[in-house]
Amino acid sequence: MKNLGGLMKQAQKLQSKMAEIQEELGKRTVSAQAGGGMVEATVNGRQELLSLRIDPEVANPDDIEMLQDLITAAVNEALNRSRDMVAQEMSKLTGGLQIPGLF
């Protein structure tokens, strides 16, 4: 029973620390570009798109598909970088142990 109490305290500490890290990650941002910088997406650690910058030169009404592809590429890369950032921070907390469903 004594070990169970210690385990519960550790779990509560871990949960508290995770909440702190998630709060911090929500404030951190990463950006990615596509088309040689023509499109730039910025997301936070919660995988929320914060901004999307599009160079007016790439906004050609005759080639909307290219613009859509550039936006998709930039957003997806920014999201990947954000997920990597979260995984890196969480692995510091868990000592590299991969816990399913944690992140």
- The CATH number given to whatever domain includes residue 71 is 3.30.1310.10
Q: Give me the domain span that covers residue 19.
A: 2-94
Domain-located, residue 54: yes
> Which residue type is seen at 76?
N
Q: What's the pLDDT score for residue 97?
A: 59
Mean pLDDT by 10 residues, the chain (103 residues): 77 85 91 97 96 94 94 98 91 68 53
Domain-located, residue 42: yes
CA 67/CA 59 separation, integer angstroms: 7
Number of domains comprising the chain: 1
Q: What's the pLDDT score for residue 99?
A: 58
Domain-located, residue 99: no
Assigned token pair, 15? 């949960």
CA 68/CA 24 separation, integer angstroms: 31
Q: What's the pLDDT score for residue 31?
A: 97
- The residue assigned the tokens 């868990």 is 94
Domain-located, residue 102: no
DSSP state of 62: G
Q: What's the pLDDT score for residue 89?
A: 86
Q: What's the pLDDT score for residue 40?
A: 98
